[in-house]
Amino acid sequence: MYLRKTGFTLVEVLAASMIGVFIALVAMGTLRAISASAEMVDSNINVAAEVRFASSIISRDILNLYRGTNIKNTRLIGRVIESDEGAVSCLTLYSVGRIKARIDRPEGDVYEVEYYLLKDEEKSVLCRRLWPNPDPNEDEPRGILSVIAEDIEVFAVRYFDGEEWQSEWPEEMESVPELVEVSIAAKSAKGGERTDMTVESFIVNFPRSAWGQAGAPGG
């Protein structure tokens, strides 16, 4: 009586090994794709969150524009600054706020707020300058500077005077525009690179009937 020996041939072993390697490679590629997609989604969520955060702060400051009975005590100035990176908007205004810029220092509730985009070859950030107790006779800008959003490509402000939109609102106007439009855009991730744009725009209007109802009495 003979016993039959069973087992795999060399060809079968090689074939099984190749199949196993192929399955492993497919699994690793799938994991990489899932990981890259998750990172891209997280990056896009972060970009959108920064844009919304910046829009929220700016809209709040504009809505709380200080409006006294004397227009000369109100400040809303829009400029366009030319640089090597192109033209960027700069918005300066007096805003009423309750959150102190410096915890350990006495402050009023009217602040000079300025927004502008700081760009160079390595970074692009949206800055906010907050000056407690502003002095209109002070020529040199002062205050606490902070970055409210990174990787911002566009910060554009327009002003509607009742007839047309303008890119600037000079101090000589001695009035406030009827509408202020702010647009913020940042690059979102796509395929490992920041290509698509995440854009947030909003418009703030200043009803003429509300003039003089905000701000300190007799300001």
Mean local confidence (pLDDT), 124-144 = 81
Residue with tokens 């809505």: 63
For 51-101, the DSSP string reads HHHHHHHHHHHHHTB---SSGGG--EEEEEEEETTEEEEEEEEEEE-SS-S
**Is the pLDDT confidence value at 58 over 50?**
yes
Q: What angle do CA 158, 164, 170 make, to 5 degrees?
A: 50
In the chain, the number of structural domains is 1
| Residue 195: domain span | 42-210
DSSP at 65: B
Q: pLDDT above 70 covers what percent of the chain?
A: 67
Q: Per residue in 77-90, pLDDT tens? A: 999 988 766 778 89
- Mean pLDDT, the chain, rounded, equals 77
DSSP at 138: -
Residue 62 lies in a domain: yes
Residue 132 lies in a domain: yes
Find the range with the poorest average confidence among 124-128, 139-143, 155-159: 139-143
Contacts of 32 (CB under 8 A, 6+ apart): none
Residue 156 lies in a domain: yes
Strand-pairing partners, residue 159, are 166, 180
Classify 143 as helix, strand or coil: coil
Residue 5 lies in a domain: no
DSSP at 5: P
**Is the pLDDT confidence value at 216 over 70?**
no
Main-chain dihedrals φ then ψ at residue 183, nearest 5 degrees: -125, 130
Taking phi first (over 0 means left), then psi (-120 to 50 degrees means alpha), and beta for anything else, what does residue 174 get?
left
Q: Tell me which of 63 and 15 has the higher pLDDT.
A: 63
Residue with tokens 């047309």: 164
Q: Tell me which of 173 and 76 has the higher pLDDT.
A: 76
Tell me the C-alpha distance between 98 and 113, whole Å.
14
